C-alpha cells in the first residue's frame, strides 16, 4: 500500500524560512516548573493507560475528504457509564466507517460513531461498557483550563502501531495556527492549536495529552516530521460537545437517539494576526487601543479574514484582509469567544464590525447551521461516490457548498475521464446544481446510453470540460443507491436511488442532446455493493505535516489492489477528452422513410466523393495502405475494477485491430491480447473508414496465441458506414519467409493510416516471456515475425503484401522487466503474429463450430473449441541437444524435417492440473508426435487439431520424447479449451475470487487440498483489506471446510452471518500456508457474483447474500 502513514502536505510561506506567526518568543505566560515527581507520573499513568484504546477503523467508502481504507489510531474513554470514546475527527471519519476498540488487556469491542465535528478535529465513538469484563478502568477527565506553556505532559497512545506508547514533552505554545495538512483534504481552522516537541508518529491520533494528575489537557492530532513537533487540539469545544451527548443519554443503549449539537458558521476562515500585521493592514491606532484595553492581558493580535466561501452568508460582505473588531458589540480577538457566540446564534443575525483598509464597516449576517452544509448522504453509482460539496471542500476549492461533488469517480465516470474532486455541472443537456438533479437524469437513462457530461475541477476552475459518459451496459455494479447516515446506530442506511419501474426507457432517450442508447434497462436489482478505488497516497517529503493515523498496508509488497498503480502500454483517459467529433449510432440510419432514404443516398454519395478526394490527396500512399486502411479499427478498452480478473495489469488500453469479417449480420475484428486482455471488458471501436464510434463485444480469446476476436453490429454503422467499411483479405499461405518484403500499416491515435515498407529478418522467432509478479497472460509456444526496422513499442497494425493482403498482425506483447529481487517494471514490445491461426478460427466461426453457442448480434453461433497440449515448450539448438546425448539419427531426422530452424522442442513445464502434468517432465525433448518428427510449435498445434477432426480418437498424442539419455514413447492426453476466458467472479468481503486461470496454473503449482479458489484482487475499505486477505493466494478452507471450487466456496460462505468471524486458511503462490480470521460485513460488503450469460451476451450480477434492509430501516 505504500507509506503506512496518512501524510499530507504542509505549505510553507516560501523556501525554508519560517512564517511570522511561527516565530515564538518565550515571553507570553511565564514558564512554570513542574513539581511532579516520578512517583506522581507513575500513579497518573497507572490510571490513564487502562482507559486508552487502540482503534482499528475501516473507511468503507471514499467520502468528502477521506479515501476508503483501513487504519489504526488511538482513543480514550471520557464517559465510562455511557461508553463514550474521544478521538480525532479524521479517525471517526466523515463517511461510512466500521471500527473496533482494543483495550490494554486485549479485550476488543465494536464501536460506532455518534458525532464528528464539522470543522474541528475531534469526534466520539460509543461502545457497550458491559462487554468489558476483565479490565478495571476509569474514564479520563477533561481539563482544558490546565493547559499552560511549560506544562510537562505525557502523550499516551498507540504510536507507530505499538500496543502502548508513552512519550514525554513540554507544552511550548498555546496559540499556534491550525496545521495545514492537505490542499484537497481535511484541515482544521478557526482555532488555535498547542505545540510540543514530543515526536509522535503514525497511530497516535486521538491520544490523550495528560498532566501529572492524570487529566487530559489536550488531544493529539498531527505532527511535523522535520522538526519532531506535535500539534494538540484544545479541549474547550470538546467539553461542550461531550456535555450535549451526556445530557441526551443517561447510559449506554443499543440504539441511541441522535443528539443535536448546535454549530454556527459564517463560512469565513479567520487567522490570528499580530498587532504589527493588523497595523499594516490599515487598522486605526484608536481601534487598536480600544481592543487592547478590552482584551485580556497579554493579547498580541486580532482576527483577520483569510477567506470567504462563495455563496455563504458572508459572501460579498466580508473580504480577505478585513480585521474583525466586534461581534454584537463585543470585542472578539480569540477563536473560542467567536465560536461560542456563533454557536449560540444559529439561524439568527449578528452585527459584525470590521475595519477594511482603515475604514470602519458594520455588516449584519445570518449565522448558518454548520450541520446543514455538512453532507450526510451520498449516491453510489457504478462504483462512484457522489454527494453535495461539503464546507470543508468548498473552503479548499473556493466553490459554493452543496454542488454535486465526485468523491470517487468509480468506473463509469473514470471511463469518461472525470477525475476525483470534480464538480458535475451538466448531464445529458440538463443543468445539475443538486444531487437530486443528477438522480432525476440518471433514472431516465438506459444501459448503454451515451450522454454528454460537463464538469469543472478546482485545478482548472474557470473552464468547463465536456466528456461522454457511457452508462454501464453490463451489470458490473449494483443499481444506483443512496446511503444516508443514521447517528442513532452509527451506520449508513441504504436504499435504491430510484425504483426499477420509475419510467426507465427501454429504447433510449431522444431528447438528451440527440444521443440514443441501447435497450437494456438500468435497474435490475437493488443491493449494496462494495467498490474499488484507484487512488494512491503521495509520498511523504521531509518537513510536512501529517495526521497521526497509521494506514493498513499489505505485507506482501507485490500484491495487486483494486487500483493498479502500474503504468502500462495504454495510457489512461485524459481529463480533457472531448465529445466533439464522436458520433453515436444505434441503427437509426435504417429507421427512415422514403424521403430519408433519399437523404441517406445523397449523404452516401457525398461521402463517397469526399473519400475519392481523400484518395487523390493520398496518392503518395502505398497501394497496400490504401487497400488496408478501410479495414483498420482503433480499439479503446476499459476493464471495470469490480472484474479485474486474470491478473490484468491496467484498467485502460488502446490498440489497433483489423476487420477480418464484415457482413450485414456480423463483423469480427482481430486484435492482440495486450489490448483486449480479458473478456470482462467494455470495448469501443473507432473505424478508419468512417467517422463513427460503436461498442464491440469480446467473443473469442485464444487460450495460447496472442489475439482476441471482437464482434460488432454492422447495422450500427448505418447505410453509409456499412458500404465504406470492409474486411481485409487474409493470406495465411504461403508462410512468411526471411527476406520477404512486407508493408506495416497501422493507425495513429488520430485514426490516420501510416505505413512503411520493411524486410522480414526472422519469420520464426520464439517468444520467451517470463512470468510477472502478478501472473497474467503471457504468450507461450508462439513463433513471431521480426522486421529489420524498429517501429517503436506502441505502434500496432498489420503486415501485408504489396497487394494489401494481410499476412500477419503486428501486435503488442506484455512483459515485465525485473531489477534485482524486488523491483520490476512493466514493458511491452511488438512483433508479427502469423495470420494462419486467426484464419483457422474464423473459418470455424463462419462455417459452424462444435463448441458452446454464443449470442452475437441476436444470433446464436457455436464457437470454436481449441484442443491444446497444456505444456510450455521452448526450442533448443540441435548442437546443444547433441551435447545432452541426442543421437545422430534423430539430429539428422530433425534437420531433414526442418533445415532452417535446426532445433528441438523441450519441456519447460506443465500447467498445474493439466492432463500432461504427471507424464511430461521439465527438460524432456519432444522428438516426434504420432511418429512424425516435431521441430516447431505449429507441428504440435497441427497434431492436436488432427485429434479434433477424428471423433473416434481418445484425444491422446503418441509422443516420442528424449529423457535422461533414453527415448520414451508416451500417450499424452490433450486438453480442450474454449475462447471465453474467465466468465465468473465472486466478491466476498471485498476480495475478488475466481477459479485459478492459466497464467497461475502455468507456475506449476496448485494447493494439494483439492486446489482452492484464487484471490485476484482486494478492495480498499473492505474486510479483506482490514484483516489482510490480500491477492496472490488461494483460499483452501473456510471454517475448516474445504473450498476446492467456486460453488463449494459459496456454499460455505453462505453459512456465515453478518458480523461473524470466520477462519480462513490460505496458501500463497510461493506455497506458504497462512491462517487468518476475518469479520464478515454484509451491510457494506454483501456477497455477490458476476457471471457471463452466453444466451444474452450480458454479464449478469447476482446478490448471493446481503442484509434485509427493509427490516433494518
Which residues are marked as active site?
A: 534, 796
| Per-residue CA distances from 125 to 97, 295, 609 (Å) | 11, 37, 73
SS3 at position 324: strand
Q: CB of 726 within 8 A of CB of 627? A: no
Residue 547 has a CB neighbour count (10 Å cut-off) of 28
CA distances 463 to 400, 422, 425, 454, Å, are 16, 12, 11, 10
Positive/negative CA dihedral, 620, 626, 628, 631: positive
Rounded CA separation 614/611 (Å)? 5
**CA neighbor of 768 nearest in space, from 867, 906, 972:** 906
Rounded Cα distance between 162 and 1027, Å, is 17
CA distances, 368 to each of 305, 310, 312, 335, 598 (Å) = 17, 14, 8, 17, 63
Distance separating alpha carbons of residues 787 and 832, to the nearest angstrom: 8
Residue 1017: name the closest of 831, 776, 832 by CA. Answer: 776
In the 3-class helix/strand/coil scheme, how is 454-501 assigned residue by residue?
EEEECCEEEEEEEEEEECCCCCCCCCCEEEEEECCCCEEEEEECCCCC
Q: How far apart are CA 729 and CA 630, in angstroms?
A: 12
Between the CA of residue 678 and those of 562, 640, 651, 674, what are the distances in Å? 16, 11, 11, 9
* Residues 1011 and 553 sit within 8 Å (Cβ to Cβ): no
CA 1041 to chain centre: 32
Strands of 942-1018 (E only): list them: 956-963, 966-973, 975-978, 984-988, 991-994, 1013-1018
Question: Contact at 8 Å (CB) between 585 and 694?
Answer: yes
Question: ∠ at Cα 599 (594, 603), nearest 5°?
Answer: 145
CB 466 within 8 A of CB 578: yes
β-pair partners for 229? 224
Cell reading at 728: 481485409
Burial class (CB in 10 A: 0-12, 13-18, 19+), 1041: middle
Buried/exposed 728-756: b ≥16 CB within 10 Å, e otherwise: bebbbeebbeeebebbbbbbeeebebebb
Quick one: cell of 696? 464491440
Residue 278 CB neighbours (<10 A): 22
CA–CA gap between residue 264 and residue 391 (Å, rounded): 12
Within its chain, how far is the Cα of 63 from the centroid? 14
Would you give the DSSP letter of residue 643? Answer: G
- Quote the strand ranges of 487-585, DSSP E: 491-496, 545-551
CB-CB neighbours of 292 under 10 Å: 15
Distance in angstroms (rounded) separating the CA atoms of residues 484 and 578: 34
Percentage helix, strand, coil for the chain under 3-state DSSP, each rounded to 5: 20, 35, 45
Residue among 69, 105, 99 nearest 87 (CA): 99
Give dist(CA 664, CA 780) in Å, integer: 36
Amino acid at each position: 500500500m505504500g507509506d503506512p502513514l496518512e501524510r499530507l502536505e504542509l505549505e510553507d510561506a516560501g523556501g525554508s524560512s519560517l512564517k511570522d506567526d511561527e516565530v515564538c518568543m518565550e515571553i507570553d505566560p511565564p514558564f512554570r516548573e513542574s513539581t511532579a515527581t516520578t512517583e506522581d507520573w507513575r500513579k497518573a499513568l497507572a490510571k490513564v493507560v487502562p482507559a486508552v484504546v487502540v482503534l482499528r477503523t475501516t473507511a468503507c467508502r471514499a467520502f468528502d475528504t477521506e479515501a476508503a481504507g483501513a487504519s489504526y489510531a488511538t482513543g480514550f474513554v471520557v464517559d465510562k457509564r455511557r461508553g463514550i470514546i474521544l478521538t480525532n475527527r479524521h479517525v471517526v471519519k466523515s463517511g461510512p466507517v466500521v471500527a473496533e476498540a482494543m483495550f490494554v488487556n486485549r479485550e476488543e469491542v465494536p464501536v460506532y460513531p455518534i458525532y464528528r465535528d464539522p470543522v474541528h478535529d475531534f469526534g466520539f465513538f460509543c461502545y457497550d461498557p458491559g462487554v468489558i469484563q476483565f479490565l478495571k478502568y476509569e474514564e479520563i477527565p477533561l481539563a482544558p483550563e490546565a493547559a499552560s506553556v511549560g506544562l510537562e505532559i505525557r502523550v499516551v497512545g498507540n504510536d507507530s502501531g505499538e500496543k502502548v506508547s508513552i512519550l514525554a514533552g513540554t507544552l511550548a505554545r498555546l496559540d499556534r495556527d491550525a496545521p495545514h495538512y492537505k490542499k484537497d483534504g481535511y484541515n482544521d481552522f478557526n482555532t488555535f492549536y498547542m505545540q510540543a516537541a514530543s515526536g509522535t508518529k503514525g497511530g497516535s491520533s486521538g491520544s490523550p495529552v495528560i498532566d501529572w494528575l492524570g487529566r487530559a489537557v489536550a488531544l493529539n492530532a498531527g505532527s511535523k516530521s522535520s522538526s519532531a513537533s506535535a500539534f494538540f487540539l484544545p479541549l474547550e469545544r470538546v467539553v461542550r460537545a461531550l456535555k450535549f451527548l451526556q445530557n441526551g443519554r443517561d447510559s449506554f443503549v443499543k440504539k441511541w437517539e441522535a443528539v443535536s449539537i448546535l454549530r454556527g458558521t459564517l463560512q469565513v476562515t479567520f487567522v490570528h494576526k499580530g498587532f504589527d500585521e493588523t497595523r499594516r493592514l490599515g487598522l486605526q491606532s484608536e481601534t487598536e487601543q480600544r481592543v487592547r484595553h478590552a482584551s485580556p492581558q497579554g493579547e498580541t493580535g486580532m482576527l483577520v479574514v483569510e477567506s470567504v466561501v462563495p455563496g455563504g452568508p458572508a459572501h460579498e460582505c466580508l473580504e480577505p484582509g478585513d480585521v474583525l473588531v466586534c461581534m454584537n458589540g463585543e470585542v472578539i480577538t480569540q477563536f473560542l469567544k467567536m465560536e461560542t457566540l456563533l454557536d449560540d446564534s444559529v439561524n439568527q443575525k449578528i452585527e459584525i464590525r470590521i475595519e477594511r483598509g482603515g475604514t470602519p464597516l458594520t455588516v449584519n449576517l445570518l449565522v448558518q447551521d454548520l450541520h446543514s452544509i455538512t453532507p450526510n448522504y451520498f449516491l453510489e453509482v457504478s462504483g462512484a461516490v457522489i454527494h453535495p460539496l461539503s464546507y470543508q471542500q468548498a473552503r479548499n476549492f473556493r466553490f459554493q457548498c452543496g454542488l454535486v461533488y465526485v468523491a470517487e469517480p468509480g468506473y463509469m465516470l473514470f471511463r469518461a475521464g472525470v477525475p476525483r474532486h470534480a464538480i458535475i455541472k451538466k448531464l445529458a443537456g440538463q443543468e445539475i446544481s443538486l444531487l437530486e438533479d443528477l438522480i432525476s437524469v440518471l433514472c431516465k437513462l438506459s444501459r448503454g446510453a451515451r450522454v454528454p457530461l460537463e464538469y469543472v475541477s478546482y485545478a482548472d476552475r474557470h473552464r468547463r470540460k465536456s466528456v461522454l459518459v457511457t452508462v454501464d451496459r453490463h451489470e458490473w455494479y449494483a443499481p444506483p443507491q443512496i446511503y444516508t447516515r443514521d447517528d442513532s446506530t452509527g451506520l449508513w442506511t441504504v436504499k435504491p436511488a430510484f425504483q426499477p419501474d420509475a419510467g426507465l426507457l427501454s429504447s433510449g432517450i431522444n431528447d438528451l442532446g440527440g444521443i440514443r442508447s441501447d435497450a437494456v434497462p438500468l435497474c435490475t436489482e437493488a443491493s449494496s455493493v462494495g467498490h474499488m478505488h484507484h487512488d494512491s497516497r503521495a509520498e511523504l517529503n521531509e518537513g510536512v505535516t501529517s495526521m497521526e493515523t497509521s494506514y493498513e498496508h499489505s505485507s506482501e509488497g507485490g500484491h495487486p489492489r483494486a487500483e493498479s498503480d502500474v503504468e502500462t502500454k495504454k495510457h489512461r483517459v485524459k481529463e480533457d477528452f472531448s465529445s466533439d467529433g464522436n458520433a453515436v449510432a444505434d441503427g437509426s440510419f435504417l429507421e427512415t422513410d422514403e424521403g430519408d432514404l433519399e437523404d441517406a443516398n445523397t449523404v452516401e454519395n457525398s461521402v463517397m466523393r469526399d473519400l475519392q478526394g481523400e484518395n487523390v490527396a493520398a496518392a503518395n500512399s502505398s497501394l497496400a495502405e490504401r487497400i488496408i486502411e478501410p479495414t483498420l479499427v482503433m480499439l479503446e478498452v476499459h476493464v471495470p475494477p469490480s472484474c479485474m480478473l486474470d491478473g490484468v495489469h491496467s484498467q485502460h488500453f488502446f490498440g489497433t485491430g483489423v476487420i477480418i469479417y464484415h457482413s450485414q449480420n456480423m463483423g469480427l475484428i482481430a486484435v492482440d491480447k495486450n489490448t483486449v486482455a480479458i473478456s470482462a471488458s467494455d470495448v469501443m471501436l473507432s473505424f478508419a473508414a468512417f467517422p463513427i464510434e460503436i461498442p464491440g463485444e469480446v467473443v473469442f480469446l485464444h487460450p495460447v496465441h496472442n489475439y482476441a476476436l471482437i464482434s460488432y453490429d454492422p447495422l450500427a454503422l448505418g447505410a453509409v458506414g456499412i458500404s465504406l467499411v470492409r474486411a481485409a483479405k487474409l493470406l495465411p499461405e504461403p508462410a512468411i519467409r526471411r527476406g520477404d518484403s512486407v508493408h506495416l500499416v497501422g493507425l495513429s491515435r488520430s485514426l490516420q493510416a501510416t505505413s512503411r515498407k520493411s524486410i522480414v529478418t526472422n519469420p520464426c522467432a520464439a517468444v520467451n516471456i517470463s512470468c510477472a509478479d502478478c501472473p497474467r497472460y503471457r504468450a507461450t509456444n508462439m513463433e513471431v515475425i521480426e522486421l529489420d526496422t524498429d517501429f517503436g513499442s506502441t505502434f500496432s497494425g498489420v503486415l501485408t503484401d504489396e497487394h494489401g493482403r494481410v499476412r500477419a498482425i503486428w501486435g503488442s506483447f506484455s512483459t515485465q522487466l525485473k531489477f534485482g529481487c524486488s523491483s520490476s517494471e512493466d514493458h511491452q514490445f511488438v512483433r508479427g503474429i502469423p495470420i494462419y491461426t486467426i484464419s483457422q478460427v474464423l473459418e470455424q466461426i463462419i462455417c459452424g463450430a462444435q463448441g458452446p453457442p454464443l449470442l452475437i448480434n441476436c444470433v446464436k453461433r457455436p464457437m470454436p473449441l481449441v484442443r491444446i497440449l497444456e505444456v510450455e515448450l521452448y526450442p533448443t539448438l540441435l548442437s546443444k541437444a547433441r551435447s545432452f546425448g541426442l543421437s545422430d539419427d534423430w539430429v539428422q531426422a530433425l534437420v531433414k524435417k526442418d533445415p532452417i530452424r535446426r532445433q528441438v522442442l523441450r519441456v519447460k513445464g506443465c500447467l498445474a492440473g493439466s492432463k500432461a502434468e504427471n507424464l511430461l517432465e521439465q527438460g524432456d525433448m519432444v522428438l516426434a508426435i504420432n511418429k512424425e518428427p516435431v521441430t516447431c510449435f505449429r507441428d504440435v498445434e497441427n497434431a492436436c487439431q488432427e485429434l479434433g477432426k477424428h471423433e473416434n480418437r481418445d484425444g491422446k498424442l503418441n509422443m516420442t520424447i528424449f529423457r535422461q539419455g533414453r527415448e520414451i514413447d508416451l500417450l499424452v492426453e490433450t486438453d480442450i479449451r474454449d475462447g471465453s476466458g474467465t466468465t465468473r467472479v465472486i466478491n466476498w468481503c471485498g476480495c475478488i475470487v475466481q477459479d485459478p486461470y492459466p497464467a497461475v496454473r502455468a507456475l506449476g503449482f496448485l494447493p494439494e487440498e483439492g486446489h482452492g479458489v484464487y484471490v485476484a484482487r482486494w478492495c480498499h475499505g473492505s474486510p479483506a483489506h482490514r484483516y489482510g486477505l490480500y491477492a496472490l493466494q488461494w483460499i483452501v478452507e473456510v471454517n475448516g471446510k474445504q473450498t476446492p471450487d467456486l460453488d463449494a466456496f459459496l456454499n460455505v460462505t453462505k453459512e456465515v452471518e453478518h458480523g461473524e468471524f470466520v477462519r480462513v486458511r490460505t496458501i500463497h503462490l510461493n506455497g506458504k500456508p497462512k491462517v487468518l480470521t476475518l469479520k464478515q460485513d454484509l451491510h457494506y460488503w454483501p456477497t455477490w457474483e458476476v457471471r457471463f450469460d452466453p444466451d444474452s451476451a450480458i454479464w449478469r450480477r447476482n446478490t448471493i447474500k446481503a442484509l434485509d434492509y427493509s427490516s433494518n430501516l
